[in-house]
Amino acid sequence: MQGKHARKDKVLEGVVAMTYRNWRTGHRKSQRIHPDEESIACLVEGRLPEREQRGVLAHVTTCLRCRQALDVYFKADQSLSLEVPQELLARLKSALEEEARALLLEVALRVRDNIIEVLNAGGDILVGQELMPAPVLRSRKITEFKDEIFIFRDFKDIRVEAKIENKQGGHFGLCVTVKDKKSQQTLKDVRVALLKGDTELESYVCEKGAAVFENVELGSYRVEICGKGEQLAAIALDIKT
């Protein structure tokens, strides 16, 4: 029993240490391959080789889905449940989710006929030739746009521009452009992927300056923007009728 407790403490210390290092360096690796259930179990039980353990820990600190799987494993092991530092796990989860939100542009729209209505947007919206924060537009009761809308948000080193177009018939178009925040030059070596749930539907490298997704069905999606092996930003997109 004591050996299990010691292994578990060691795993938690490793998760915390890895999270801190990721926070310090600002790198968030976009690892598409999730460790399987056996790897998670072996991680907790201390049966992974050191190199593989480092890789799984690095993934867990940047993947909410796998952190939840790790938490479920802890809770399922009743022999260890009384020793789990739940407060530490809660703080860690909260800190990681807050960090993930800093890379997220949330957009909720409703479309009808030739109108796009803004329900929620975490960035700036182009009105004529002027960029205006979404809260300012709401205060002025400007929430409806004809046919298309442009939403912008600056992240650490980049600016993400999202053009959403009402195609009618239950579909929309999405064009994503990524620029260097300082120079405003379009970045052509980033990869933009459109996901629904955990399924990747389409992805493009912005060789021509933009990633274009046409005739997408209305619904909830996640757009991930990656470059040089790390996630640069993401868009949580919810478009309804």
Contact 16, 92 (CB under 8 A): yes
Least confident of 31-45, 139-153, 175-189, 197-211: 31-45
Expressed as residue numbers, the domain containing 109 is: 104-240
- φ/ψ of 60, rounded to 5, equals -60, -35
Q: Which two tokens stand for residue 132?
A: 């205006």
In terms of pLDDT, which residue wins out, 11 or 104? 104
**Residue 216: its pLDDT value, please?**
96
Sheet holding 230-240, edge to edge: 144-146, 115-121, 104-112, 230-240, 219-227, 191-196, 199-205
Q: Is the pLDDT of residue 70 over 80?
A: no
Q: Are residues 59 and 118 in the same domain?
A: no
**Does this model's pTM top 0.85?**
no
Are 95 and 108 in the same domain? no
pLDDT band at 82 (very low <50, low <70, confident <90, very high): very low
How far apart CA 192 and CA 179 sit, in angstroms, is 13
The whole-chain average pLDDT of the chain stands at: 81
Structure confidence at residue 238 (pLDDT): 96
In whole angstroms, give the CA distance from residue 44 to residue 139: 50
Going by DSSP bridges, is the β-strand pair 211-217/104-112 parallel, antiparallel, or unpaired? unpaired
Identify the CA nearest to 175 among candidates 233, 215, 137.
215
| CATH number of the domain encompassing residue 120 | 2.60.40
Domain count, the chain: 2
Specify whether 61 is located in the same domain as 123: no
Segment among 86-100, 120-134, 221-235 with least mean pLDDT? 86-100
